[in-house]
């Protein structure tokens, strides 16, 4: 958990998590910058708030609620651990959150113990663009999953069990997978024609799972989201953006980006200036060249990073694609 | 069982992180297995100095909160396999760990490495308290400036209060400019020792190469032909118990011979 995390799920709305903040002041400053800078985003969104372990008095709670109200945000539930804070929240007629606030799934990247250089996919992220006609990327659409009925859910659950079983059996057992997942996989890798794909994109439901953030992320800040993430601004070195879907940065991406964080290898990362320290897509990762960067002026124009044959490759942005 | 040494200063910007990186590299060069621990949670830098920023996946807070195994978080140095870095978290703050967790972590690291060097954050608050929690020895860094020496004195006082845990603490005087000392414009080694009355571990001269090395991510002590690098290597040897004479940094000893040598030597002090 970072100082502030914004987590959103199509069915549950958005959770603003300031539980990582040490003090009321810190929480308020993070909240106000987040709420105001991207106030457009919050319109008509179900917002929940997590105050974590913060101990707040009634006046402090009132301050925070006023701050949210100022940008039209009325948290439908607030999570808090401390009895003092919970009492103060009840005083103000706020609904206390049940159970645990939603969190992002844990990282799926397999990191070896004490990794050496050979363990890294040593693909310099500044590679020149290569012919990309041969590669097809299946776009990740969280809303698509919602449309499909329970069968899929059961299937996924079945997968989960199988995976758990495989994990319990050790790494070798992971090779033979359930037939369920295989069929699903082949479906996914089927290459749709470009026209069909374009149609699909136009006709498909509006992404409930897209989050826009109009803000530059500075060192130490992080944003995580369960759908696609669009940052309008820069992501500086030391900042981290995490999404289960794609990550698009309308600006310079210089920090760490993790797309497809729950294991979706089809996710993409694109930026006007793709100059990250590290990018991770699904289960692959790539790191920047070894020399520390003093100058950021050399760039290749808009670029897209995606996984090709298990390795992250960077392509010049191609509007046809 | 290894030794856990905290590198601390009180004041910021005197070279704690630079010293940690360089002493770590120098110790690893002597063949010891070394783990550098960045305790400056929220303002992490050690990975940049080591040129390992792009390899960091997990960090100290992930280890403490058991999101990964300790060995997964350790980043092996790209030059020396016996040098490892445990990076700090950048998106968290100092309250993310507590003293007991640090003690436990240090115990675990101690069993794995000959030297565990902890890079402490500036200040005397919780971050510093956590950094010294698991340490048995301390290296106090200061520069020959009134403010830095004052803060170092405060730190030494705090370390003395924990005599049971921290058995030994020694001083590294960083960024000394012999010429300014000779002109009485800067405190000399003796002046600083007079105030702090603490055992001297080393003196590091001011050196432009430090800036270059920081930007490159290659600590100077890993390369020869820099005076600061030599000073850090000497510190490492002293840490291992060797008797190493202190470098002659006295500008008064600049004879015409040394001047000619220095003229042809690109390394200036």
pTM (predicted TM-score): 0.69
Please tell me the distance in Å from A5's CA to the nearest CA on chain B.
10
Q: Residue A278's Cα: distance from chain center in Å?
A: 15
Contact by Cβ (8 Å): B200, B189: yes
The dihedral through the CA atoms of A272, A276, A280, A285 has a sign that is: positive
Angle, vertex CA B13, rays to CA B192 and CA B41, nearest 5: 125
Contact by Cβ (8 Å): B88, B57: no
Q: Is beta strand A303-308 parallel, antiparallel or unpaired with respect to A256-259?
A: unpaired
pLDDT for the residue A117: 53
Which structural domain, as residue segments, surrounds residue B200?
3-264
pLDDT for the residue A109: 55
pLDDT for the residue B259: 65
pLDDT for the residue A294: 75
> Is residue B105 a part of any domain in this protein?
yes
Q: Looking at beta carbons, which residues of chain B come within 8 Å of A222?
A: 91
> Is residue B269 a part of any domain in this protein?
no
Strands, DSSP E only, in chain B? 3-8, 34-38, 75-76, 83-86, 115-119, 137-142, 168-176, 199-205
Task: Verify whether the Cβ–Cβ distance A2 to B58 is below 8 Å.
Answer: no
Tokens of A170: 């050790």
> Is residue B125 a part of any domain in this protein?
yes
pLDDT for the residue B261: 67
Q: Which residue of A has its CA nearest to B58?
A: A111
Task: Verify whether the Cβ–Cβ distance B51 to A290 is below 8 Å.
Answer: yes
> Is residue B132 a part of any domain in this protein?
yes
> Is residue B233 a part of any domain in this protein?
yes
Closest CA to B198 of B235, B160, B171: B171
Q: Which residues of chain B have pLDDT under 50?
A: 268-269
Q: Looking at beta carbons, which residues of chain A come within 8 Å of B54?
A: 277-278, 287-290
pLDDT for the residue B185: 93
Tokens of A273: 């200036």
Tokens of A150: 């329970």
* pLDDT digit string, tens, across residues B57-89: 899 999 999 989 999 999 999 889 999 999 999
> Is residue B70 a part of any domain in this protein?
yes
Contact by Cβ (8 Å): B267, B226: yes
pLDDT for the residue A199: 33
> Is residue B12 a part of any domain in this protein?
yes
Q: Is beta strand B3-8 parallel, antiparallel or unpaired with respect to B137-142?
A: parallel
Q: Is beta strand A5-9 parallel, antiparallel or unpaired with respect to A13-17?
A: antiparallel
First to last CA, chain B: 38
| CB contact B84 to A (< 8 Å) | yes
Question: What total number of domains does chain B contain?
Answer: 1
Q: Which residues of chain A have pLDDT under 70?
A: 1-13, 33, 35-44, 102-208, 291-292, 298, 320-321
Tokens of A171: 């790494």
CATH number, domain at B79? 3.40.50.300
| CB contact B212 to A (< 8 Å) | no
> Is residue B52 a part of any domain in this protein?
yes
């Amino acid at each position: 958990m970072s100082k502030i995390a914004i987590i959103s799920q199509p069915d549950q709305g958005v959770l603003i998590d300031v539980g990582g903040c040490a003090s009321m002041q810190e929480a308020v400053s993070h909240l106000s910058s987040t709420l105001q800078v991207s106030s457009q985003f919050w319109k008509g969104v179900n917002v929940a708030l997590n105050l974590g372990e913060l101990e707040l008095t009634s006046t402090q709670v009132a301050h925070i609620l006023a701050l949210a109200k100022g940008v039209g945000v009325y948290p439908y539930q607030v999570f808090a651990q401390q009895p003092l804070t919970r009492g103060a929240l009840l005083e103000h007629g706020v609904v206390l959150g049940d159970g645990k606030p939603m969190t992002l799934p844990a990282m799926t990247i397999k990191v070896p113990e004490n990794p050496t250089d050979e363990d890294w996919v040593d693909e310099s992220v500044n590679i020149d663009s290569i012919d990309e006609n041969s590669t097809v990327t299946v776009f990740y659409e969280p809303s698509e999953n919602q449309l499909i009925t329970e069968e899929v859910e059961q299937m996924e659950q079945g997968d989960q069990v199988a995976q758990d079983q495989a994990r319990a059996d050790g790494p070798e057992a992971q090779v033979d997978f359930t037939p369920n997942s295989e069929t699903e996989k082949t479906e996914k890798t089927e290459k749709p024609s470009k026209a069909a794909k374009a149609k699909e994109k136009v006709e498909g439901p509006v992404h409930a799972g897209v989050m826009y953030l109009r803000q530059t992320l500075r060192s130490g800040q992080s944003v995580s989201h369960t759908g696609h993430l669009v940052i309008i601004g820069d992501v500086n070195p030391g900042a981290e953006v995490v999404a289960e879907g794609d990550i698009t940065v309308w600006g310079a991406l210089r920090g760490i980006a993790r797309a497809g964080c729950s294991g979706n290898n089809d996710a993409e990362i694109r930026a006007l200036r793709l100059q990250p320290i590290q990018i991770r897509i699904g289960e692959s990762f790539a790191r920047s060249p070894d020399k520390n960067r003093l100058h950021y002026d050399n760039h290749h124009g808009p670029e897209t990073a995606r996984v090709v044959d298990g390795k992250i490759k960077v392509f010049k942005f191609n509007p046809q694609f | 069982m290894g030794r856990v040494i905290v590198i601390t200063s009180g004041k910021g910007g005197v070279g704690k992180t630079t010293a940690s990186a360089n002493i770590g590299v120098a110790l690893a060069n002597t063949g010891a297995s070394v783990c550098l621990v960045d305790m400056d949670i929220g303002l992490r830098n050690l990975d940049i100095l080591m040129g390992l920023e792009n390899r960091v996946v997990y960090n100290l807070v992930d280890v403490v909160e058991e999101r990964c195994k300790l060995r997964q978080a350790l980043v092996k140095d790209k030059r020396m396999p016996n040098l490892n870095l445990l990076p700090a978290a950048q998106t968290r703050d100092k309250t993310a760990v507590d003293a007991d967790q640090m003690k436990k972590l240090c115990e675990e690291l101690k069993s794995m490495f000959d030297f565990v060097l902890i890079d402490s954050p500036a200040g005397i608050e919780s971050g510093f308290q956590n950094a010294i929690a698991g340490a048995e020895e301390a290296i106090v860094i200061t520069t020959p400036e009134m403010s830095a020496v004052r803060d170092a004195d405060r730190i030494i006082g705090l370390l003395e209060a924990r005599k049971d845990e921290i058995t030994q603490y020694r001083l590294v005087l960083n960024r000394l400019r012999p010429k300014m000392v000779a002109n009485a414009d800067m405190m000399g080694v003796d002046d600083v020792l007079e105030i702090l009355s603490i055992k001297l571990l080393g003196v590091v001269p001011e050196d432009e190469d430090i800036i270059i090395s920081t930007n490159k991510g290659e600590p100077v002590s890993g390369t020869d032909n820099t005076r600061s690098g030599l000073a850090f290597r000497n510190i490492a040897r002293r840490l291992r118990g060797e008797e190493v004479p202190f470098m002659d940094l006295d500008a008064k000893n600049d004879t015409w011979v040394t001047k000619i040598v220095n003229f042809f030597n690109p390394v200036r002090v």
